Structure 1
Amino acid sequence: MRWFFVVLRKYWVFSGRARRAEYWMFTLVSTIIYLALMFADDRAGNEVPTTAFTLAIALPSLGVTVRRLHDTGRTGWWALIGVLPCVGLITLLIFTAEDGVPGQNKYGPNPKEIPLLTDPAPTDA
């Protein structure tokens, strides 16, 4: 759940890189919330909550996808390939599942080498 909120805090950030865990955990939590809202909408007979949630996470989803593509060494414009039926979605799935470029690339430092704010401080033992 932590990754979901990390992405929401960076909702307007399209620069830098995103780890696989950040991208996929955000996608997993978003999908679970979306499915729960769809079920609730079906019971209530309206689609307002699902539509509102979809609109609310559109920009953070795009941002984390662009940052994930940056981590694999690709430009964020590759996210547009997802609009192509089948081939585009499969290609985007493969790109986002790949491991990031080790070390620094033109989009910034490797996010695996940057400690998270919630990680405990290292100790000398």
Structure 2
Amino acid sequence: MKSMLLPLKRYAQFDGRAGRKEYWMFQLFLFLVILVGYAGMGIGVAMESNLLTGLFGVLLGVFSLAVIVPAIAVGIRRLHDIDKSGWFLLVGLIPFVGGLVLLVFNVLPGTPGDNRFGPVPPTV
């Protein structure tokens, strides 16, 4: 649980490195929160409750805005861990291929030892 919320504590820290565990646990946290939000919206739709559907929609929107900076920051730090520039995150904007390239980058193990972006990230 601690590693799921670590990127929120390092909210706008774009320097340094983030290990695979930190990155993927944060992605799992985002997935679970969004899953609960969409489940709530689905329940609202099933109950034909515009209030419940709208409430969960607004909560998801606010949550998305709140985590966009930490999500970008942990993505950049993850790229730093494999000794790539944070600008490689923009590869994700390329349709079809960009997401696959970033997936491969994020699955790769980090650089052993220090690299130009700093020391090995501590394991959480």
Same fold, judged at TM 0.5 (above): yes
> What is residue 83 of structure 2 aligned with on the other side?
73
Alignment of 1:5-44 (within 5 A): 5-42=5-42, 43=44, 44=52
**For 1:94 and 1:66, how far apart are their aligned partners in 2?**
14
Alignment of 1:1-125 (within 5 A): 1-42=1-42, 43=44, 44-46=52-54, 47-111=57-121, 114=122, 116=124
1:25-84 CA-partner distances (Å, limit 9, x unpaired): 000111111111122133122110111111111000000000000000000000111112
**For 1:31 and 1:55, how far apart are their aligned partners in 2?**
15
Stretch moving more, 100-109 or 1-10? 1-10
Query: What is the total number of aligned residue pairs between the two structures?
Result: 114
User: RMSD of aligned C-alpha atoms?
Assistant: 1.1
Higher RCO structure (Cα 8 Å, ≥6 apart): 2
TM-score (norm. length: structure 1): 0.87
- How much does 1:98 deviate? 0.3
Identity %: 38
1:12-34 CA-partner distances (Å, limit 9, x unpaired): 10000000000000001111111
More helix by share: 2
Contact kept? 1:72, 1:98, Cα under 8 Å = yes
TM-score (norm. length: structure 2): 0.87
1:45 counterpart SS class: helix
1:75-117 CA-partner distances (Å, limit 9, x unpaired): 0000111112220000000001100011000000011xx365x
Task: Could you tell me which runs of 5 or more consecutive residues in structure 2 were left unpaired when the two chains were aligned.
Answer: 45-51
